[in-house]
Amino acid sequence: GQQLNQSPQSMFIQEGEDVSMNCTSSSIFNTWLWYKQDPGEGPVLLIALYKAGELTSNGRLTAQFGITRKDSFLNISASIPSDVGIYFCAGQSGNSGYALNFGKGTSLLVTP
């Protein structure tokens, strides 16, 4: 599958700070998705993006589908302790049919 580069690998921040993470690819995607995985759980979909340039919010989370269709970012504003977890980006292209390509994840730790 196509490789996604997700950064940073990990973040250690204080409660109340804003967080930004991104995902890049050498290939074009038609869909970008962001998932969160809590410890001991499976990933849960946070935001799905279907159009280049699209900016979508879900509460304190905001994600954008890059204009080049090769990148996406996720911002979390005013972080809280329950934001702790691993955040995965995933891309889907017509070339890979239905298969999602996942990034390696960004591990987020939030201290009170």
Partner 1 sequence: ETGVTQTPRHLVMGMTNKKSLKCEQHLGHNAMYWYKQSAKKPLELMFVYNFKEQTENNSVPSRFSPECPNSSHLFLHLHTLQPEDSALYLCASSRGQGASGELFFGEGSRLTVL
Among 26, 42, 59, 112, binds partner 1 (CB under 8 A): 42
Phi-psi region of 67 (alpha: psi -120 to 50; beta: other; left: phi over 0): alpha
Piece in contact with partner 1 (CB under 8 A), picked from 14-22, 40-48, 52-60, 74-82: 40-48
Q: Is 82 in the site for partner 1 (CB under 8 A)?
A: no
Nearer to partner 1 by Cβ, of 97 and 112: the residue is 97
Binds partner 1 by CB under 8 A, chosen from 7, 18, 44, 67: 44
**Best CA proximity match to 7, nearest among 108, 110, 111:** 108
Instruction: Say if CB 21 and CB 84 are below 8 A apart.
Output: no
CB of 83 to partner 1, least distance (A): 19
> 38 phi and psi, to 5 degrees?
-80, 155
Please report, for residues 25, 42, 80, the alpha-carbon distance to residue 35 in angstroms, rounded to integers and kept in the order given.
17, 10, 17
Residues that bind partner 1 (CB under 8 A): 1, 4, 31, 33, 35, 40-45, 48, 50, 88, 90, 92, 97-105
